[in-house]
Chain A
Amino acid sequence: MQFYHHLPEANMLSRDENKRYSRHVILDKVGMEGQLKLKAAKVLVIGAGGLGCPTLQYLTAAGVGTIGIIDFDKIDISNLQRQILFTPQDLGKNKAEIAAEHLKQLNEHVIFQVYPERLTAENALELFAAYDLVIDGTDNFSTRYLVNDAAVLTNKPLVYGSIYKFQGQVSVFNYENGPTYRCVFPIPPKAGTIKNCSEIGVIGVLSGIIGTQQANEAIKITLGIGTTLSGHLLIYDALKATYMKVAVKKSDDEVQKTLDLKASFKTQDYDLFCGVNTAEKSHEITGEYLKQLLNNDNIRIVDLREEWEEPQLEGSNVERIIMSELQEKMDRFKTDKIVVLVCQTGTRSNNVKQLVEQTLQQSDIKELKGGMEKYGK
């Protein structure tokens, strides 16, 4: 009976699929079993831009069964130099929606889930939970830390890729007890100097080189073949045509700090962590979050308590300004850094916040919620 060829199920391939994937199926390391693994796989791609487009094209062609695409951004003419999935007819339209539209034409057997919205701490965990693997094709540090933490909290392997001018980085994080993004880059770069592709430029073909390597890692993980980049950071230099592969280690401390965020994850402010202050967001910071801000040069943590008050707070970016010194040290609050006030119960920090904001005519000072009494408990 040939009857079932017309009713393809997840655990079998249709006649058309058999022909389409024949060059995969004849490979020893893929075979019919591997092709069915690809078909059963659910992969989420964050960002349908320079990295996301080539990744999506190869995953779609390879027959990954379900592909999620999240991107809030619209297609701009300056994207076409490297985002070769898009055409001039697509300008002004949402990237996730248009990417899915084009990709469907490439392979009708793939199911696309489209999210034309911004990835946030509020929607990330639920979204990630619906997939087997996540690919990071974002273009800013705030979202990269958010993606890492959500991948750790939902226990999903994360394929990382990033580009800068003529160089790219690729790795696999949170896979088989390997390192996470935070293990490799625990502290975000100095804010203010961070620019994106639109400000610094990027060689178009680099997106394709790095994006397809991300697709390759995702396919190896799905098939369970070869050696992934987990435990290594691969750095490619397009000008020199050289690769450097450096070994990176897991840091249990960094992983634990991420796991500790679980309860308060939805309220985490990743912009703040990366030194981008947004006054409309909450001015209160939780104790778990304060731990992440220690030693971060984008942040100035001001401890308003007397020296004898416990527990002590230690970090290279922590300084003590007791209440009696406030007026003479008012200059310390005039800074490009984000100021976080800390006291014992939250009362002093609240008073000082109001006083400093009035005196300096600003409205973006943060404070530790509930004070150090609640810290670490």
Chain B
Amino acid sequence: MNLNIKYFGRIVEITGVDEERLECSDSINLAEFRSLLLSRYYPDLKGESFQIAVDQEVKSEDFRIDKDCELAILPPFAGG
């Protein structure tokens, strides 16, 4: 399945891109996706705080992705 991933805020400083497409052969839950993103793609994301929205809905870590979707990686912003 195709995962269209959008990065926001300071996460973009780490990934270097604000949007990318990743392919994933098996269904995975968000906790697994999170550790995959950290271990395989962006180790510097370790310690960053972010929520993951699946098709515009923030989901808990046990939510399972099993079809093409859009993932938004959402850190909090501090500025005011």
Query: Residues of A with Cβ closer than 8 Å to B?
Result: 47, 49-52, 136-141, 144, 161-165, 167-169, 184-185, 187-190, 193-194, 196-197, 200, 202, 207, 233, 235, 244-249, 297
The 10 closest A-B pairs by CB, nearest first: A190-B47, A164-B77, A162-B77, A246-B53, A139-B80, A185-B76, A163-B79, A189-B49, A247-B57, A51-B80
CA of A146 to CA of B27, assembled, Å? 39
B80 touches A184 (CB 8 A): no
Flag whether B10 is at the interface (Cβ < 8 A). Answer: yes
Which residue of chain A is the closest to B76 with respect to CB atoms?
A185
A194 touches B80 (CB 8 A): no
Contacts A/B (CB < 8 Å), 23 sampled: A47-B80, A50-B79, A136-B80, A139-B78, A139-B80, A161-B80, A163-B80, A167-B9, A167-B77, A169-B76, A188-B49, A189-B47, A189-B76, A190-B49, A197-B79, A207-B80, A233-B58, A233-B74, A244-B56, A246-B56, A247-B53, A247-B56, A297-B47
Query: What residues of B have a CB within 8 angstroms of the CB of A193 in the complex?
Result: 10
Query: What residues of A have a CB within 8 angstroms of the CB of B47 in the complex?
Result: 189-190, 297
B10 touches A185 (CB 8 A): no
A185 touches B8 (CB 8 A): no
Query: Residues of B with Cβ closer than 8 Å to A?
Result: 6, 8-10, 46-49, 51, 53, 56-58, 72, 74-80
CA of A246 to CA of B54, assembled, Å? 9
Which residue of chain A is the closest to B54 with respect to CB atoms?
A246
Q: How close is A314's CB to chain B, nearest CB, in angstroms? A: 16
Q: How close is A254's CB to chain B, nearest CB, in angstroms? A: 12
A162 touches B58 (CB 8 A): no
A202-B8 in contact given A189-B49, A233-B74, A244-B56 (Cβ < 8 Å):
no
A163-B58 in contact given A187-B49, A188-B49, A235-B8 (Cβ < 8 Å):
no
Query: What residues of B have a CB within 8 angstroms of the CB of A248 in the complex?
Result: 51, 58
New contact pairs (20) apart from A50-B80, A190-B47, CB-CB < 8 Å = A47-B80, A50-B79, A139-B78, A139-B79, A163-B79, A164-B77, A167-B9, A167-B77, A188-B49, A189-B48, A189-B49, A189-B75, A196-B79, A197-B80, A233-B58, A244-B6, A245-B56, A246-B57, A247-B57, A248-B58
Which residue, B46, B53, B56, B79, has most C-beta atoms of chain A within 10 A? B79
A162-B80 in contact given A184-B51, A189-B49, A190-B49 (Cβ < 8 Å):
yes
A52 touches B72 (CB 8 A): no
Query: What residues of B have a CB within 8 angstroms of the CB of A165 in the complex?
Result: 9
CA of A273 to CA of B4, assembled, Å? 33
A140 touches B78 (CB 8 A): yes
Q: How close is A171's CB to chain B, nearest CB, in angstroms? A: 11
CA of A196 to CA of B61, assembled, Å? 29
Query: What residues of B have a CB within 8 angstroms of the CB of A200 in the complex?
Result: 79
B74 touches A162 (CB 8 A): no
A137-B80 in contact given A189-B48, A233-B74, A244-B72 (Cβ < 8 Å):
yes
Which residue of chain A is the closest to B6 with respect to CB atoms?
A244
Which residue of chain B is the closest to A194 with respect to CB atoms?
B78
Query: What residues of A have a CB within 8 angstroms of the CB of B77 in the complex?
Result: 162-164, 167-169
Q: How close is B26's CB to chain A, nearest CB, in angstroms? A: 25
